C-alpha cells in the first residue's frame, strides 16, 4: 500500500493575524486548481494565536488540515500558559508536532515527556508528528543511527500497534534546520530507512511499511523533487519555506 505523502508547514513563532491571513489565503488560492486526488496531505501549523483565524479560513477546505506546534498532555487544570488536546480538537486540529529539537533544546523537553504527549494525542484521536534528529556532533561521531533509535524507542513507549501505524515521524537533523543546508537526499533516505527498521523491531514489518516518515531541515522548492523521489521519504516538515504561500504551494506541487 502506497503511503500518502504529507507536506507540513511549521510556522514556528511567526505570523501575526494579518500575516497568517495573507499566508492562508495565498495557500488556498494556490491549491485551488490542484487535483485533490493527487495532492499530498497538506498540513499547516500556526501559532496558537493564529489558530482561530487559520481554522476559520480553512473550515470549508478539505485540502488543508491544521496542526498545533505543541500541546500539554494533561486534560485541564492549573497549567499556566499551556493548551490542552480538547482545546485543539475544538479548532479541528488534526496533528500535533512533538519532540521538535527546538523544544527539546530550548525548553528541556525529555523523551519521557514527549512520550506522554504522544500517548495523550493518540488517545484523543489526533495524530502526533514525532520529531527526531541528531546534532552535528553526533553525526560526526557516527552515533546518528543509535541516537535516532533511542529517541524513537522512547517516544513509542507503550504506544499500541494500532496507534503506531497512525503516527507520523519527522526526521529533522538539527544541523540542517534553518541553516539552508539540507541533508543530502540519499543520506536522508538511508537514515529514514534506519528509522523504519527501528519501527519494524518495535512492532513489525507491516507497521514499518505503513508509517509515514517525513524529512525536515531546509526543505526548499529546489530540493523537494529529489527528496520526494527517495522511496523512504514520505514528505516534508518545513519551516522557513512554509512562510511564503508561493514557496509552500511549490512544495505541495513538488510532492505530486
Ligand atoms: P527549516 O525548514 O526552516 O529548516 O525548519 C525545519 C523545521 O524545523 C521544521 O519543523
Query: Which ligand 1 atom is at minimum distance from the Cα of 216?
Result: 6
Domains of the chain: 6-254 (3.20.20.70)
Quote the CA–CA distance of 164 and 169 in Å, as a whole number. 10
Model pLDDT, residue 247: 98
Compute the distance from residue 237 Cα to the ligand 1 centre, in Å: 7
Q: Which residues line ligand 1 (CB under 6 A)?
A: 10, 100, 172, 177-178, 216-219, 237-241
> Is residue 105 within 8 Å of residue 155, measured between CB atoms?
no
Phi-psi group of 174: left, alpha or beta (phi > 0 → left; psi -120 to 50 → alpha; rest → beta):
alpha
- For residue 233 the three cell numbers come to 521519504
Compute the distance from residue 98 Cα to the ligand 1 centre, in Å: 13
> Is residue 68 within 8 Å of residue 49, measured between CB atoms?
no
Model pLDDT, residue 1: 59
Please indicate whether residue 100 is annotated as part of the active site: yes
**Mean pLDDT value across residues 6-10:** 98
What average pLDDT does the chain have? 97
Pick from 173, 192, 104: which is nearest to 134 by CA?
Answer: 173
**Mean pLDDT value across residues 205-214:** 98
> Is residue 161 within 8 Å of residue 112, measured between CB atoms?
no
**Mean pLDDT value across residues 85-89:** 98
**Mean pLDDT value across residues 9-31:** 97
- For residue 136 the three cell numbers come to 552535528
CB atoms within 10 A of CB 196: 19
Query: Which ligand 1 atom is at minimum distance from the Cα of 12?
Result: 10
Query: Which ligand 1 atom is at minimum distance from the Cα of 101?
Result: 8
Q: What percent of the chain has pLDDT over 90?
A: 99
pLDDT 10s digits, 117-158 = 999 999 999 999 999 999 999 999 999 999 999 999 999 999
Quote the CA–CA distance of 152 and 171 in Å, as a whole number. 10
**Ligand 1 pocket test, candidate residues 103, 178, 241, most atoms within 8 A of CB:** 178
Quote the CA–CA distance of 216 and 171 in Å, as a whole number. 6
Model pLDDT, residue 35: 97
pTM above the 0.85 mark? yes
Quote the CA–CA distance of 255 and 38 in Å, as a whole number. 9
Compute the distance from residue 78 Cα to the ligand 1 centre, in Å: 32
> Is residue 247 within 8 Å of residue 221, measured between CB atoms?
yes
The active-site residue out of 41, 109, 134, 172 is 172
Model pLDDT, residue 177: 97
> Is residue 84 within 8 Å of residue 120, measured between CB atoms?
no
Model pLDDT, residue 2: 87
Please indicate whether residue 161 is annotated as part of the active site: no
> Is residue 73 within 8 Å of residue 36, measured between CB atoms?
no
pLDDT 10s digits, 52-82 = 999 999 999 999 999 999 999 999 999 999 9
Whose Cα sits closest to atom 2 in ligand 1? Answer: 239
Model pLDDT, residue 125: 98
Model pLDDT, residue 20: 98
Amino acid at each position: 500500500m502506497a503511503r500518502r505523502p504529507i507536506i507540513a508547514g511549521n510556522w514556528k513563532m511567526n505570523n501575526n493575524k494579518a500575516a497568517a491571513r495573507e499566508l492562508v489565503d495565498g495557500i488556498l488560492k494556490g491549491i485551488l486548481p490542484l487535483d485533490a486526488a493527487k495532492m499530498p496531505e497538506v498540513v499547516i501549523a500556526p501559532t496558537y494565536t493564529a489558530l482561530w483565524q487559520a481554522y476559520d479560513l480553512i473550515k470549508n477546505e478539505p485540502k488543508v488540515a491544521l496542526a498545533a506546534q505543541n500541546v500539554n498532555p494533561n486534560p485541564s487544570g492549573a497549567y499556566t500558559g499551556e493548551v490542552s488536546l480538547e482545546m485543539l480538537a475544538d479548532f479541528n486540529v488534526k496533528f500535533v508536532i512533538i519532540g521538535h529539537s527546538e523544544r527539546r533544546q530550548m525548553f528541556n523537553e525529555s523523551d519521557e515527556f514527549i512520550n506522554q504527549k504522544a500517548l495523550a494525542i493518540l488517545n484523543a484521536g489526533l495524530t502526533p508528528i514525532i520529531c527526531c534528529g541528531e546534532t552535528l556532533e553526533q553525526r560526526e561521531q557516527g552515533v546518528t543511527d543509535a541516537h535516532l533509535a533511542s529517541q524513537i524507542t522512547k517516544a513509542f513507549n507503550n504506544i499500541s500497534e494500532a496507534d503506531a501505524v497512525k503516527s507520523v515521524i519527522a526526521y529533522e537533523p538539527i544541523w540542517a534546520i534553518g541553516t539552508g543546508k539540507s541533508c543530502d537526499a540519499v543520506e536522508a533516505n538511508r537514515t529514514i530507512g534506519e528509522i523504519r527498521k527501528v519501527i519494524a523491531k518495535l512492532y513489525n514489518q507491516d507497521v514499518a511499511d505503513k508509517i509515514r516518515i517525513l524529512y525536515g531541515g531546509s526543505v526548499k522548492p529546489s530540493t523537494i523533487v529529489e527528496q520526494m523521489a527517495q522511496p523512504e521519504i514520505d514528505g516534508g516538515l518545513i519551516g522557513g519555506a512554509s512562510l511564503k504561500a508561493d514557496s509552500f504551494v511549490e512544495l505541495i506541487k513538488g510532492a505530486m
